[in-house]
Amino acid sequence: MHSSLVVTSEGMPLGLVAVKFWTRSRFKGTTALKRHINPTRRVPIEEKESYHWLENMRQSTALLDDPVRCIHVGDRESDIYELFCTSHDLCTYFLVRTCVDRLAGDGQHTIAHEMEQVKVKGLHRVELRDAKGSATPVTLQIRYQQMTVLPPIGKQDRYPALQFTVIHAHERDVPPGRTGIEWKLLTNLPVRSRAQTIEKLDWYVMRWKIEPFHKILKSGCKAEDSKLRTADRLANLTSVFCILSWRIFWLTMISRCARKLRPTRCTHQPKLNCSSVWSQTCRLPHRHRRSCAT
């Protein structure tokens, strides 16, 4: 399953705009094929599992119907040149963490080589939380540079070179025994100052909002424990669980930022009545039935 969650710049989840289901049998033999050819050059993107990134971008952009206000944020799995070209064709924006050191400029050097020549343009302090939730202040050195990024060598006859902004954020003074923070982002958004760079870093942090959604879906709704016999039935059940998981996530975030908000502002009275009956059956304390924080 590949899902696209809409969140505001403040991190409030607004809903799902694209969910794709597929089975790995469709891509059976891909691993064996990699031993004989370079799939990056020889296999069309439409025949790869990563094509779902492009499908979700197209579907979400069409559904939201306002491309210039959409920013598609993705992790290193979405570092796909076809995705960048799709964003260019749709006149929408992307912000992606990169894992590929692509050719840049005149093709005689890479992005990493060009970024090595860029001076530090500012510092940014963030909090790093460990597994126990303890926060540690961390200082990041920020570099950014606009440059021409070239498509992979085997695809230069199909895709054009494009102008992007590269953002590198590296942790300064990394303590021993811990791997330092290193973010390498690529975007077609305008970045002309330290403030705009920090804004893009904050937007990339919103990518992790998809993780609580998946946790609710898997651990809360137990979507993976279903005993349904067919893929179609499982897809239908998971679709319902996706809606439920988003609503739970949304209510959780609402309860944190507006704890005194009346429940009727978030749902209808019949649903509240059902919730009240359920809470009485489960013998929950009465105070848990009075606010959106339930």
Question: Can you give the residue ranges of every domain in the chain?
Answer: 2-215, 216-289
For the segment 68-105, what is each residue's pLDDT rounded down to a tens digit? Answer: 999 999 999 999 999 999 999 999 999 999 999 999 99
Q: Which fold has domain 2-215?
A: Transposase Inhibitor Protein From Tn5; Chain A, domain 1 (3.90.350)
For the segment 109-129, what is each residue's pLDDT rounded down to a tens digit? Answer: 999 999 999 999 999 998 887
| Reported pTM | 0.84
Average pLDDT estimate for 195-199: 96
Secondary structure string (H, E, C) spanning 246-288: HHHHHHHHHHHHCCCCCHHHCCCHHHHHHHHHHHHHCCCCHHH
CB atoms inside a 10 Å sphere around CB 253: 18
Q: Which of 1, 3, 94 is nearest to 56 (CA)?
A: 3
Cα–Cα distance between 290 and 51 in angstroms, integer? Answer: 46
Contact yes or no for 139/118 (Cβ under 8 A): no
